[in-house]
Amino acid sequence: MKDNDVDFGLRTFLKELGGIAGGTALLATVPWLQSCTPARLKETAGEVVRIGMIGTGSRGQFHLHNLKAIPAARVTVLCDTYEPNLRAAAEIVGSGVKTCSDWRKVLDDPDVDAVIIATPLHLHAEMTIAALQAGKHVFCEKAMALTEEDCLAAYRAYSSGDRVLFYGMQRLFDPKYLEAIRLIHEGKIGDIVGMRCHWFRNADWRREVPSPELERHINWRLYREYSGGLMTELGSHQLEVCNWALGLMPVQVTGMGDIVYWRDGREVYDSVNVTYRYSNGCKICYESLIANKYNGMEEQILGSKGTLDLAKGVYWLEEDNEISGMRQLLGQVRDGVFSAVPAAGPSWRPELRSRYVPHAVMKGNYGVAAGESMTGESGDGSDVLLEAFCQACITGEKAADIVEEAYCSTLLCLLGNRAMETGRVLDFPAEYVIPYMKF
């Protein structure tokens, strides 16, 4: 490969990150990117990782489209028990790709260096552990596992081996999140005093089933045997960034969950309200429902000097005399800063918050999602995450903190579910504490 062919997605991401305010210092504080410097990418240019994809549903196919744009990735095997998805995935990859319905055959294939697991949640831990033991590098979709015990088992399998393991925590590779966290840690919004996150949609989460016996196979998200519901599917992302912002793990959790609207035989809640409490008294107020989308998706970090919405890449200051609100707003609209902010659920409403001036965490246009897609959003960091995984597979270097962040966020989701089911205030269980955690 020629030098001028090296400038693909991950390298472009690093250049852009290095170009933002404080970017050089920021790169030094992002441990999961330490092996992804432009120099290392140039060193490994032309090398390829052979990938087996286990699970070819909507998310798996989303990853396949991203993999096609990654020079270091070559998909050699596709695996799924549902033939229509397997055929669709094979069409995306093109001629020459092998297919099978038994995922263990992927692990036995000598033409596979790494596997991507995009299956229902209840299979994540079993497949991840088996793949690591088979000597494969692993990328697994979030959440980590369906039970606390399986989370710990997967973490231990990774920690005791030498294989690379990534989880689908794409916010760790989204520039606006990285810059927002830098601003928070530098004190832009003062001391963190609270966090409010919500993710609202208006859709039943149900997919068309061609035959009744396939109901649980296709609509696995609706049943507790396979899914953690809204907490693991959506909350895992948002709780992770709250911990990231504060640098701590909560010590207690309580909440309520109900099936309010979609009374169609599903077992998981369609409405959840959960509160997480940290040792310093700070709390996360988390809410998600799927029968109203007005408020969209927000991840607000509340500070003594301001508020920052990570999802939108916008912050407001409690005392802001730099420029008049109208002039600032008009200037940002002119420059296109908020051109990508969706109409559903904007994080700022001048008529309600007229004295606050919105500031963008980064200059220019950047990806902002409404959170309505069940598959993935363009520019949400998923493509860069996959490319970083391929790079790690080539070098064999484990990326710091990614597994630990996935473990922490998944544990909080599962504890949230248990608190809702029992109606109790739960303390974080000592048996699932790992050295990475700070309380």
DSSP codes, 43-96: HTTT--EEEEEE--SHHHHHHHHHHTT-TTEEEEEEE-SSHHHHHHHHHHH-TT
In a domain, 239, yes or no: yes
Residues 148 and 245 in one domain: no
Question: Average pLDDT of 131-142?
Answer: 98
pLDDT at 23 over 60: no
Confidence band for 187, pLDDT divided at 50, 70 and 90:
very high
Same domain, 25 and 36: yes
Any domain includes 163: yes
Buried-exposed string 358-378: b where 16+ CB fall within 10 A, e elsewhere: bbbbbeeebebbbbbeeebbe
- Co-location of 144 and 188 in the same domain: no
393 and 337 together in one domain: no
**Does residue 438 belong to any structural domain of this protein?**
no
For the segment 260-282, the average pLDDT, to the nearest whole number, is 98
Residue 59 inside a domain? The answer is yes
Alpha-carbon distance of 375 to 106, in angstroms, equals: 24
* β-sheet bridge partners, residue 49: 73
14 assigned to some structural domain = yes
Spatial CA neighbour of 245 closest among 22, 425, 409, 400: 409
Shared domain for 386 and 362, answered yes or no, is no
Tell me, yes or no, whether 432 lies in a domain. no
> Is residue 192 domain-shared with residue 166, that is, in the same domain?
no
Statement: residue 215 has pLDDT above 90: yes
Q: Give the pLDDT confidence of 154-177 residue by residue, as tens digits.
A: 999 999 999 999 999 999 988 899
Pair (290, 209) in one structural domain: yes
Same domain, 189 and 307: yes
- The reply to whether 278 and 148 lie within a common domain is no
* Cα 158-70-313 angle, rounded to 5 deg: 80
pLDDT score at 92: 97
How many domains, the chain?
2
Q: Do 230 and 269 touch, CB atoms closer than 8 A?
A: yes
Distance, CA of 401 to CA of 166 (rounded, Å): 10
Q: Are 323 and 287 within one domain?
A: yes
Same domain, 149 and 197: no
Domain membership flag for residue 439: no
pTM of the model: 0.89
Are 23 and 142 within one domain?
Answer: yes
**Domain that residue 214 falls in:** 174-375+408-427
| pLDDT, tens only, 357-400 | 899 998 877 777 777 766 767 778 899 999 999 999 999 999 99
Assign residue 190 a region: left if phi > 0, alpha if psi is -120 to 50, beta otherwise?
Answer: left
State the CATH number of the domain containing residue 324.
Answer: 3.30.360.10
